[in-house]
């Protein structure tokens, strides 16, 4: 009997330690990024970092800051690519989800859903390569035929390919929400002599709106944090532009570019990378958090009735 208590107790302790490791990691992520960022903001004011348009960090050496750390063009680049990606993935994802959840027969649904989810399973480095070897040359040729000069590394190429990549994030999450809508809403609307399409548009989609919003938020957070694809397809130079045909750089690209190569750990570039990481963390955290809250509230509302 005593040994059983000892076993029980030690098992619980071990499991608790595992939980402790995850807590430690959570705290570790936050403190390591915060700690380095605080050092960074000791020599670069927050205002310049957020709104300054001059990004040329590579001139600095440890303890000697001569570069400029205005990250506005990086944020703008991230936003630009995300918007392009959403304008591709939004319509395709939404209409695919509508089709799979309302029109497709069960057999079609079982075929379409896994194939769409394959898009999410492809590693992002593969999308990057796809952008380089296929989309960029095509876009360039397409641009030349209509008289536009599209750079090989451009926001439009990165955005398009990222759009393809995040289609399943939107379609799959939205399908989950739409598919589980109560049949009673559908019946209620159809019983009024409303067509199936109108029922979807005016009764079912509005009822699923929170789920759709949260799917979009997750897709945005995914797009903003995407790294390999933009490193390969978007470019390294900080251009203050909203022209999608130009190369732009993003927060993630600059984090990578400042940390590859042998930087000493306390160089201003490394610290700047951590500051960018902090910004990225906050942005994606906010999006994820809102998305989770919306879903949770939506669920409780549906359980309630």
Partner 1 sequence: MVIYTPACPAGTRPPKESKPKFSVRDLDLFYGSKKALSSVTLKIPQGQVTALIGPSGCGKSSFLRCLNRMNDLNPLARIAGSVFLDGDDIYAQGVDVVQLRARVGMVFQKPNPFPKSIYDNVAYGPRIHGLTKSRHELDAIVIDSLQKAGLYKEVSDSLEGPALRLSGGQQQRLCIARAIAVSPEVILMDEPCSALDPVATAKVEGLIDSLRHQYTIVIVTHNMQQAGRVAQKTAFFHMGELVESGDTGNLFTNPKDVRTQGYLTGRFG
Partner 2 sequence: MMDIDRIPAPLKGPQVTRQLARRHRADMRFRLYGLISIGLAFSFILLLMGTLIIKGWPAFIRTEIKLPVAFNSASTPQDQENYDRLLNQFIKKPLSEGAYDNKSLLPLLSAQSYQQLRILLVDGNPLNKDVHFKASSEVDTWLKTRRLNVNKHALTSLTPPQLDALYALEKAGRLCFAFNHSFFTRGDSQEPEIAGIYAALIGSLMTLSVAIVFAFPVGLGAALYLSEFAPRNKFFELLEININNLAAIPTIIFGLLGLAFFLNILKIPRSASLAGGLTLGLVILPIIIISSKTALKTVPMTIRFGALALGASQVQTLFHHILPLSMPGILTGTLLGIVRALGESAPLLMLGMVAFIVDPPKSLLEPATVLPIQIFVWAKNPTAGFVENTSAATLVLLLFLLLLNSIIVLLRRRFERKW
The pair phi, psi for residue 63, each rounded to 5°, is 75, 5
Residues 227, 252 contacting (CB under 8 angstroms): yes
Binding track, positions 160-189, relative to partner 1; x by CB under 8 A: ----------------------x-xxxxxx
Query: Using the rule CB under 8 A, is 192 a contact of partner 1?
Result: yes
Is the CB of 22 or the CB of 105 nearer to partner 2?
22
Residues 156, 80 contacting (CB under 8 angstroms): no
Is the CB of 68 or the CB of 109 nearer to partner 1?
109
Site for partner 2 in 27-66 (CB under 8 A): 28-29, 32-33, 35-36
Q: Which does 66 bind (CB under 5 to 8 A by kind): partner 2, partner 1, none?
A: none
* Exposure class string for 273-296: b at 16+ Cβ within 10 A, else e: bbbbbbbbbebbeebbeebeebbe
Site for partner 2 in 76-115 (CB under 8 A): 91-96, 98-100, 103, 112, 115
Query: Using the rule CB under 8 A, is 7 a contact of partner 2?
Result: yes
Is the CB of 24 or the CB of 209 nearer to partner 1?
209
Of positions 47, 121, 191, 304, contacts partner 2 by CB under 8 A: 121
Residues 176, 211 contacting (CB under 8 angstroms): yes
Owner of token pair 């209620």: 188
Is the CB of 16 or the CB of 305 nearer to partner 2?
16
Stretch that binds partner 2, among 48-56, 69-77, 222-230, 237-245 (CB under 8 A): 222-230
Query: Using the rule CB under 8 A, is 207 a contact of partner 1?
Result: yes
Q: How far is CA 73 from CA 182, 231, 232, 242, in A?
A: 46, 16, 18, 9
Of positions 42, 47, 107, 133, contacts partner 2 by CB under 8 A: 133
Residues 229, 162 contacting (CB under 8 angstroms): yes
* Exposure class string for 149-161: b at 16+ Cβ within 10 A, else e: ebbebbbbbbbbb
Query: Using the rule CB under 8 A, is 129 a contact of partner 2?
Result: yes
The pair phi, psi for residue 260, each rounded to 5°, is -90, 150
Q: Give the DSSP H/E element, type plus range, for residue 57.
A: none
- Residues near partner 1, by CB under 8 A: 105, 182, 184-195, 198, 202-203, 206-207, 301, 304-305
């Amino acid at each position: 009997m005593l040994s059983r208590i000892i076993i029980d107790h030690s098992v619980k302790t071990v499991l608790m330690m595992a939980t402790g490791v995850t807590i430690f990691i959570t705290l570790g992520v936050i403190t390591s990024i915060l700690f380095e960022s605080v050092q960074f903001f000791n020599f670069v004011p927050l205002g310049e970092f957020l709104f300054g348009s001059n990004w040329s960090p590579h001139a600095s050496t440890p303890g000697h800051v001569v570069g400029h750390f205005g990250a506005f063009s990086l944020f703008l680049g991230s936003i630009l690519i995300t918007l392009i990606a959403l304008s591709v993935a939004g319509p395709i994802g939404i209409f695919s989800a509508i089709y799979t959840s309302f029109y497709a027969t069960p057999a079609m649904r079982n075929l379409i859903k896994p194939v769409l989810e394959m898009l999410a399973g492809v590693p992002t480095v593969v999308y990057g390569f796809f952008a380089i070897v296929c989309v960029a040359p095509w876009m360039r040729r397409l641009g030349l035929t209509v008289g536009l000069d599209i750079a090989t590394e451009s926001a439009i190429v990165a955005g398009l390919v990222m759009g393809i990549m995040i289609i399943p994030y939107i379609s799959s999450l939205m399908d989950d929400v739409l598919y589980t809508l109560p049949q009673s809403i559908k019946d209620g609307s159809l019983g009024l002599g409303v067509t199936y399409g109108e029922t979807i548009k005016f009764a079912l989609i509005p009822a699923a709106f929170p789920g759709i919003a949260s799917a979009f938020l997750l897709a945005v957070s995914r797009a903003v944090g995407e790294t390999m694809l933009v490193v390969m397809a978007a470019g390294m130079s900080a251009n203050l532009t909203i022209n999608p045909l130009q190369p732009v750089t993003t927060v993630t690209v600059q984090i990578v570019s400042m940390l590859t190569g042998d930087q000493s750990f306390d160089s201003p570039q490394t610290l700047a990378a951590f500051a960018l990481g902090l910004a990225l963390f906050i942005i994606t955290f906010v999006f994820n958090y809102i998305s989770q809250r919306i879903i949770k509230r939506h669920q409780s509302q549906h359980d309630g009735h």
